[in-house]
Chains A and B, each alone.
Chain A
Amino acid sequence: MRLRLFGGRVVDPANGIDAPLDLWIAGGHIAAVGAAPDGFQAEREIDVSGHIVCPGLVDLRAHLREPGAEHKATIASETAAAVSGGITTLCCPPDTDPVVDTPAVATLIQRRAQKAGLARVRPLGALTQGLKGTHLSEMGALKAAGCVGVSNARQPLSNTLVMRRAMEYAATHDLTVFLHAEDPSLRNNGCVHEGQVSTRLGLPGIPEAAETVAVARDLALIRQTGVRAHFCQLSTAEAVRMVARAQYDGLPVTADVSAHHLHLTEIDLGFFDSQCHVQPPLRTERDRDALRAALAKGTLSAICSDHQPHESDAKLRPFAETAAGLSGLETLLPLSLRMVEEGVMPLREVIARLSQQPARLLGLKAGTLGAGAAADVCVFDPEAYWELDKRTLISRGHNTPFMGWQLKGRVNWTLFKGKIVFERGAR
């Protein structure tokens, strides 16, 4: 379909554009931004005045639960939720069942996504076979099957020699290693940040050092092996400071933050609110402020959802026995936009950390509205207020601590490869 989006403000950090311009789409690609291409006959013209037109968002980490946990969600159900939140590219971690340690599983995930046809889904491959931390996975084959990086997900890799070898082998294949920095011994049986709230509620705590010890070890190995590495979801001020220093020293290291860690702290646990049971845990106000500052500065180059949909029973237990994680696809954009509202960073920077930057981390040609790029487009009303309500959530997972929050900024159209995959009111 040949489309013209007119009247909107185009914000495309990848091309340095922030201006009221028309967007012209044909054959699934961006035909032009600004003036109409010669002889362009639009089959449909959409009036997007009052809206921001930006690249389809790229989510660095979304657990889509397929294969293996289809009782929680499926690729089809969650990509539908993603596009309602403006996300057109999702990277999923390898801790599915079976694990993404063979090309067959990587292929299956991408095929399921293609069949749903709503968004691009690319897996990370397992760093070690079965994520068991002992044998390297066949990274060459995983890369050939479409994996955009390798990771041991949240499974601890406590043998430092295996970690070194895995980094060397990933570097051989020019694969980025995605690291979840947490020392399993220090984490012990913790489920919340170790501090005043864990003390008050009597819940086993996860100390700050569980993160910093792992970051320090991994940084030493990155220095030694020269691998390109990315720290997923840093949660402490101290870890962010260590990564900033490593970047300053020229190490090939990047890092991201999840949207909820920009807003919530340990205090939000109240009296055992299991919706706030997340990994890494919600930390202190000081940590949250440091994450915001590091995001503005660029030490943290992407915001992810760390989407983890659960069936309702998973949260209906005493706190420590509940499943960790929240359903985050539909709140990723509005929670990120609050960074503009609260004066942390300008809009184009927020958009960059949701599109251009994560796309670059994954080595994908997404997150841009440049002529010739796939027409993945997110169109949102930046002034629209709405309340998060479980009746209107599209994700199968209704587990979110943001239920009932007044959010600002709402997606009204999403295009994937030039096709309208979401249009509010048209469902």
Chain B
Amino acid sequence: MMSRNLQLDEQGRLRHFLSIEGLKRALLVDILDLAESFAGVTEQTVKKVPLLRGKTIVNLFFESSTRTRTTFELAAKRLSADVLNLNITVSAATKGETLLDTLRNLEAMHCDMFVVRHADSGAAHFIAEHVAPHVHVINAGDGRHAHPTQAMLDMFTIRRVKGEFAPLTVAIVGDILHSRVARSQIHALTTLGVNEVRVIGPKTLIPAEVETLGVHVFHDLRAGLQGADVVIALRLQNERMQGALLPSEHEYFQLYGLTEDKLAAAKPDAIVMHPGPINRGVEMASDVADGPRSVILQQVTHGIAVRMAVMAMAMGTVPLGEGKAA
């Protein structure tokens, strides 16, 4: 049942976009190339292309999100699709309807694509396994598992600034344990063939046997930043600050918060990224977030083009590997 890759059709084309794991480098490059062609669209005065005209896309958010949902909505609208936003946390789930029943009801309304965010790891795979054959599923974040469109917009940003992936050393700093973003970034970076991926954080925030994903582990920030080309800080959820994972915000910032001083260990032209939203003074100092190394706002802008590319490819409305659509 699980042997075939659920994300691809028989011809190896993208059908659902659930996780980076299991996708080939060429396909990731296709996404980036197509996004590049859409990036032009979003800068024009008329910001629309008619690729998904007549299609209905449902933003199915079981967990609240502003940024991700908004950029998915903009991406869908710029592809001329009709968009429905459903915030399920306050509707069906609270009435006891099962996830499968919610899906069946939406399918009955002839929707073409579900963009899903859910608090449970594996929720997007589960939905993709059970939807009707004509429905496509995009994972907009499932538990701690994956957030593949975020990872792809990060790759897009890295490629725009740095050009090639092969020579790069990328350091990911912070709460790797609970981060779906980090997992997807690691798969994307190793698939695209960067020189080295490092994860940096205290042992309480590094998942077991993370080396098996092809990364090097550092517990000391300066050592981990040594010679890095790209530094990605992860968001630290407020609730992680209590309990037995970390003693205090203060100590976390002292040891793992990005400052200009600590970034001196990285390459002089190193860039700093963050998936947002930032806790200033926790994951990084304000002067870093707003400074010349920061590409954080570019990440947000690129999110729209990358999500347009993923939606168009999954719907099969663009020929693979050629950004003809733009």
Contacts and interface: CB of A to CB of B under 8 A. Distances in A.
Interface of A: 194-196, 198-205, 207, 270-273, 313, 316-321
14 contacts: A195-B208, A198-B208, A199-B210, A199-B213, A201-B121, A202-B146, A203-B144, A270-B3, A271-B125, A272-B121, A273-B2, A313-B98, A317-B126, A320-B120
Contacts of B143: 202-203, 318, 320
A196 B126 contact: no
B207 A198 contact: yes
B235 interface: no
A202 B213 CA distance: 12
Contacts of B208: 194-196, 198-199, 205, 207
A270 B2 contact: yes
A244 to B, nearest CB: 25
Interface string B61-105: 000000000000000000000000000000000000011100000
Contacts of A195: 208-209
B209 A196 contact: yes
Contacts of B21: 200
Given A196-B209, A270-B3, 18 more contacts: A194-B208, A199-B207, A199-B210, A199-B213, A200-B21, A200-B183, A200-B212, A202-B144, A202-B146, A203-B122, A203-B145, A205-B208, A270-B2, A313-B98, A316-B98, A318-B120, A318-B143, A319-B122
B109 interface: no
A258 to B, nearest CB: 22
Given A195-B208, A272-B121, A317-B98, A202 B183 contact: yes
A215 B143 CA distance: 32
Contact of B126 (A194, A202, A207, A318): A318
B307 interface: no
A205 B146 CA distance: 16
Contacts of B207: 198-199, 205
Interface of B: 1-3, 6, 21, 98-100, 118, 120-123, 125-126, 130, 142-146, 180, 183, 207-210, 212-213
A271 to B, nearest CB: 5
Nearest to B99: A317
Nearest to A203: B121
Contacts of A318: 99, 118, 120-123, 126, 142-143
A91 B212 CA distance: 41
Contacts of A273: 1-2
A316 B100 contact: yes
Nearest to B19: A271
Contacts of A317: 98-100, 126
B118 to A, nearest CB: 7
Contacts of B209: 195-196, 199
A194 B177 CA distance: 12
Contacts of A320: 120-122, 143
Contacts of B123: 318
Nearest to B122: A272
Contacts of B145: 201-203
Closest 9 CB pairs of A and B: A202-B144, A202-B145, A272-B122, A318-B120, A270-B2, A199-B207, A196-B212, A202-B121, A318-B123
Contacts of B142: 202, 318
A272 B180 CA distance: 15
Most buried by B among A199, A204, A273: A199
A202 B212 contact: no
Contacts of B2: 270-271, 273
A313 B146 CA distance: 25
Given A202-B145, A207-B208, A272-B125, A321 B213 contact: no
Contacts of A270: 2-3
Contacts of B146: 202
A321 B120 contact: yes
Nearest to B62: A318
Contacts of A207: 208
Contacts of A201: 121-122, 145
A210 B209 CA distance: 17
B122 A271 contact: yes
Contacts of A316: 98, 100, 130
Contacts of B183: 200, 202
Nearest to B123: A318
Contacts of B125: 271-272
Nearest to B18: A271
A272 B126 contact: yes
A205 B121 CA distance: 12
B79 to A, nearest CB: 28
A384 B53 CA distance: 58
Max count, chain B CB within 10 A of own CB: residue among A198, A271, A316: A271
A194 B100 CA distance: 28
Contacts of B99: 317-318
A210 B301 CA distance: 45
Contacts of B98: 313, 316-317
Residue among B98, B99, B125, B146 having the largest count of chain A Cβ atoms under 10 Å? B125
Contacts of A319: 120-122, 126
Contacts of A321: 120
A316 B100 CA distance: 8
A166 to B, nearest CB: 29
A187 to B, nearest CB: 14
A358 to B, nearest CB: 33
Nearest to A403: B1
A199 B212 CA distance: 9
A312 to B, nearest CB: 11
A317 B118 CA distance: 12
A319 to B, nearest CB: 4
A267 to B, nearest CB: 11
Contacts of A272: 121-122, 125-126
Contacts of A198: 207-208
A318 B127 CA distance: 8
Contacts of A194: 208
A272 B146 CA distance: 13
Q: Which of B21, B118, B120, B142 has the most CB of A within 10 A?
A: B120
Contacts of A203: 121-122, 143-145
B183 to A, nearest CB: 6
A200 B100 CA distance: 25
B158 to A, nearest CB: 23
A202 B6 contact: no
A103 to B, nearest CB: 37
Most buried by B among A202, A207, A273, A318: A202
A359 B122 CA distance: 41
A273 B126 CA distance: 9
A93 to B, nearest CB: 28
A285 to B, nearest CB: 13
